[in-house]
Amino acid sequence: MKITEISLSVFETISNTGLFELQEVPAGGERKRWVRTAEGAPTRELHVLHVRTDQDLEGVCTVGDARYTRMRTEDLEQLRFLALGEDPQERERLYSKCKAATRGMFTMYGWHGAFDNCLWDIVGKVEGKSVSELIGRVRQSCPAYYNYGGATKEASAEDASKAAEQGFIALKDHFRGTGEVNAEWAAAVRDSVGEDLDLLHDAAGCSYTLDEAVELGRRLEALKFGWFEEPLDDRDLTGLQRLCDAVDIPILAPETLMNDVDLSRAWLETAATDKLRVNGRIGTTAYLHLVEAARVMGTTVEPNGPGGLFGHVHAHLTCAVKNTTYYEYFPNGSRDEAGKEIGLINPPIPVDGQITPAGGLGWGAEWDWDYFEKKRVTVR
């Protein structure tokens, strides 16, 4: 079998990454921190990659997931040089080839993730299996955690309680205050939902000092939180190492570096994180390399967001990887049901707090191709 054609379908949608202004606010003593204020959501390009073969098979995957939704024209052209005429079943070899090309392309690591995911889609269709079956499914469904919110401590506690009533056994915040304020909010949520649910803190919108992160980490431990995500800048290697050494709560990183397999592995192996943040947008082959690195270190990989095809990629991977705890769910359809805007018929949605991968072959995504083509702006 040979790859004969690689193309991109281009759409225009509302971006999940809104515009924002930054304001300096006091952060204790003489220290200040930058705080974002939303300025609206622009339109963006959303790309869907198609890989076709001489046996009339097609692999399809979105580029990126809720973020990184575009493939550069230069990368697409280079991919054609690298992959046309190759056997799509040789996923590991093609992963190695594309990874080796990255330095000479002066592009972002993980740029070829959608291509790799298309290859998995093709192989699933060849072998008559879903991707989770190709890897080796370890469970039929995976628990999902719910990202709750609220403008006040009381509103956050109320939203968390509503999520618990829907069957979610794990809940994650995105509190944006100081360590002291966030500890108070965390305690309010714990009081609201009780002791049995797993609570998770995501500090992506915060700017803690190391001392502040240590103090908050210990308070989260006392509240029986499951992990402390992005507590410091992911590039603060020594700070993360000191934090991991100082607290018992598991640290989860490095989300902003996870497109780079080698850096992610290095952070794990040098004790700059306890659990590894991953995303299937880098490609399933690369993802499984990080799964194995985490397994060797006796820890888990924890996927960020939907991972491509509006949740199908991570629905399969969470059910095919033993050392994974949760699927990440964002309410209000922004990561999954948004796929209907371009013709996806079956975006995966948690039921009773559990995500289940689609049946069918490959990723199992079902499309209204007439609507897909109607909404498409152009083909490259």
Q: What is the pTM of this model?
A: 0.96
In angstroms, rounded to a whole number, what is the distance separating the alpha carbons of residues 112 and 313? 15
Q: How many CA atoms lie within 13 A of 297 on its CB side?
A: 22
pLDDT of residue 21: 93
Say if residues 279 and 254 touch (Cβ distance below 8 Å). no
DSSP for 30-65, written as a single string: T-EEEEEEE----EEEEEEEEEEETTS-EEEEESSS
Residue range 208-258, pLDDT digits in tens: 999 999 999 999 999 999 999 999 999 999 999 999 999 999 999 999 999
The residue-averaged pLDDT of 330-346 equals: 94
Nearest to 154 by CA among 130, 181, 124, 189: 189
Q: What is the CATH number of domain 134-364?
A: 3.20.20.120
Which ranges in the chain belong to alpha helices (H)? 73-83, 91-105, 113-127, 131-135, 153-165, 179-193, 210-222, 237-246, 261-269, 284-296, 312-320, 369-375
State yes or no: pLDDT of 29 exceeds 80.
no
Q: Mean pLDDT check: name the lowest of 194-198, 320-324, 330-334.
A: 330-334
State yes or no: pLDDT of 28 exceeds 80.
no
10 Å CB burial of residue 321 (0-12, 13-18, 19+) is buried
Spatial CB neighbours of 238, under 8 Å, sequence gap ≥ 6: none
Query: pLDDT grade, residue 30 (50/70/90)?
Result: confident
- The residues spanned by each domain of the chain are 3-128, 134-364
pLDDT of residue 31: 84
CATH class of 3-128: alpha beta
